[in-house]
Structure 1
């Protein structure tokens, strides 16, 4: 029966997703408790100093600030465009009646009935849609910073460096979430060919994420000195 073929899909696919999710929960805890031991925490600290420096010397650095933010917007735009194009492609596949809905051959492990194939495509589609949503919101926040960062520092001005930094961090946070959703959806694309590939790809992504997110050992000594000196990242 069809439901008996779903054992691998029910076990391996959630296991791979929970592995990726568990890593990101650990990373979030690491950023909150030891921010300077992660690349994300160090970037947050660097952006806070960057916003303060740009607004203090706005007359000389306003063009630099706009160009830097424009590059961030272009990156989010590229990811949003890629996500929505993949969504359109998946939507076309779901609505079609061609044999592309079916696996390439019957030797693929796991279920490949009409219902399971619909679940696969809809799940992948949702991941890319949420990735597009996060990148779109990220562009919105960074565009706000693009205007606020050029406002003059004045006691009556509500656009203080702290407020601009807060808005900028929202934009970069949404950009990071959108990127991670996109990367998580990539292994799910292999689900079309079976759940085993999804599990193996998800497990492979964890050490890759770790190397991208954690400060290299050669720099941990300097980071420990900064933390011991009483510096805290907000």
Structure 2
């Protein structure tokens, strides 16, 4: 549904890029800023975990296996998770910046193949941003894994429960999207 909505939005911008272009560029700027913030946060947290990897203290809050090999595996997995989040967010910045240049191009008006290319590039940026955000979601149970398997398992169950409600749509949302797309199609056929 998101890709269809983005494609419809690109079609609307393609009809009148000068009227709708400013709003599109501002939206893309906001997405670039959000991706930049997440990328900066991810690389900062990855660096902090690298610093804490050298500080191997024995605490009573950790349950389960406390060997240094296990500790290293935990910190490495968290660091890799944050690095994946960083790379995905940097990739989304790249796509969004590319779209922000393409969307203001005068060649956009009336050329459906160009509009489809811009919509695909926007979808790639959105997909990269979503993957980066998912890496942050995965990092939360991994951070709690430092304190043992019970906090990690509890957080995994809670994260799955929350993501189920965030990632699924209900019938009302689907009906709204379908009606809006049908309304746009009838307006386009009437205009032609």
TM-score of the two chains, using structure 2 as the length reference: 0.85
Change (3 A) 1:72 1:224: closer
- Counterpart in the other structure of 2:59: 104
Change (3 A) 1:48 1:224: closer
Instruction: For residues 109-132 of structure 1, give each alpha carbon's deviation from its aligned partner in whole angstroms, at most 9, with x where no partner exists.
Output: 310111111111011000000110
- Counterpart in the other structure of 1:167: 121
- Counterpart in the other structure of 2:32: 73
Instruction: For residues 6-54 of structure 1, give each alpha carbon's deviation from its aligned partner in whole angstroms, at most 9, with x where no partner exists.
Output: xxxxxxxxxxxxxxxxxxxxxxxxxxxxxxxxxxxx2221111111111
Which piece of structure 1 moves more, 49-58 or 216-225? 216-225
| Partner Cα distance (2:174, 2:101) in 1 | 36
| Partner Cα distance (2:80, 2:28) in 1 | 28
Give SS of 1:110's match: coil
* Cα displacement (A) at 1:219: 3.7
* Cα displacement (A) at 1:225: 7.7
CA RMSD of aligned residues (A): 2.6
Gaps of 5+ in 2: 186-192
The structure 1 residue matched to 2:41, chosen from 82, 90, 95, is: 82
* Cα displacement (A) at 1:153: 3.2
* Cα displacement (A) at 1:208: 0.6
Runs in 1 of length 4+ with deviation above 2 angstroms? 101-104, 216-227
Give SS of 1:150's match: coil
* Cα displacement (A) at 1:55: 2.1
- Counterpart in the other structure of 2:51: 92
The structure 1 residue matched to 2:99, chosen from 115, 121, 145, is: 145
- Bigger RCO of structures 1 and 2 (CA < 8 A, at least 6 apart): 1
| Partner Cα distance (1:44, 1:154) in 2 | 19
The structure 2 residue matched to 1:194, chosen from 131, 134, 148, is: 148
Matches of residues 51-62 of structure 1 in structure 2 within 5 Å? 51-62=10-21
Instruction: For residues 53-81 of structure 1, give each alpha carbon's deviation from its aligned partner in whole angstroms, at most 9, with x where no partner exists.
Output: 11221111221111010011111111111
Instruction: For residues 73-97 of structure 1, give each alpha carbon's deviation from its aligned partner in whole angstroms, at most 9, with x where no partner exists.
Output: 1111111111011011011112x2x
